[in-house]
Structure 1
Amino acid sequence: MSDDLKNFKYESVQDIETIISYLEAITEGFRSGELLFASQDKEVVYRPQGLLGLTIEAKKKGSRRKLSIKFGWKETNEDSKDDAPLVIKALHKDQ
């Protein structure tokens, strides 16, 4: 199984206790800094870091309800030049 998998999607119908266990696993993954998603022959590991985007959306249409929770972040490469820290200095006229 590859950590290079770009997309992972899993859809099913589950009972509330199973959903709670998935949410607890996601919470623990954020806490530990590593999330593993796997199903059949697919596996992906994400390592969230820094600031994360959060979107929560709740919808209702007739008797149907939908709750979407999305997290987003940018994974950085240690060697990346794009993520160099910002430097700001006050310069004095005599320098």
Structure 2
Amino acid sequence: MAKNNQYFEHESLQDKDAIISYLKALTEGIEKGEILLSDEEETLLLKPGKISLLRIKATNSKKNSELRLRLSWSNYEADSDKNAPLFIKAKKASKSK
């Protein structure tokens, strides 16, 4: 069975201006609904959903600092049956005979 998962990973040293440019491109991609990631080896097109989970983690120590940003979303349509509203109603218990 073929895997449907696509994967992209890139790691490189960048100066502050390049990082700002990449973050602006990500912001624009989220606004427009498509983010294209590519390097010399791989290409991946993402289509962010209208609602995403944002996770931010940061650490700071004497030797180094780290900031992690994570966005995740579901790839099914927002108007699918899985997003149908849920209704719960309490009913009075019937008297047992």
Superposition TM-score tier, normalisation by shorter sequence: 0.7 to 0.9
**Structure 2 counterpart SS, 1:29:** helix
Which ranges in structure 2 are unaligned for 5 or more consecutive residues? 90-97
Over 6 Å off, 4+ runs:
none
RMSD between superposed Cα atoms in Å: 2.3
Of 18-27 and 37-46, the range deviating more from structure 2: 37-46
Q: What count of residue pairs does the alignment treat as equivalent?
A: 85
Which ranges in structure 1 are unaligned for 5 or more consecutive residues? 91-95
Aligned position for 1:55: 55
Aligned position for 1:85: 84
Identity of aligned residues (%): 28
**Structure 2 counterpart SS, 1:23:** helix
Greater strand content: 1
Q: TM-score, normalised by structure 1?
A: 0.76
Of 4-13 and 37-46, the range deviating more from structure 2: 4-13
**Structure 2 counterpart SS, 1:67:** strand
Change in 2 beyond 3 A, CA 1:53/1:89: closer
Aligned position for 1:23: 23
| Structure with bigger RCO (C-alpha 8 Å, 6+ apart) | 1
Aligned position for 1:70: 70
Q: TM-score, normalised by structure 2?
A: 0.75
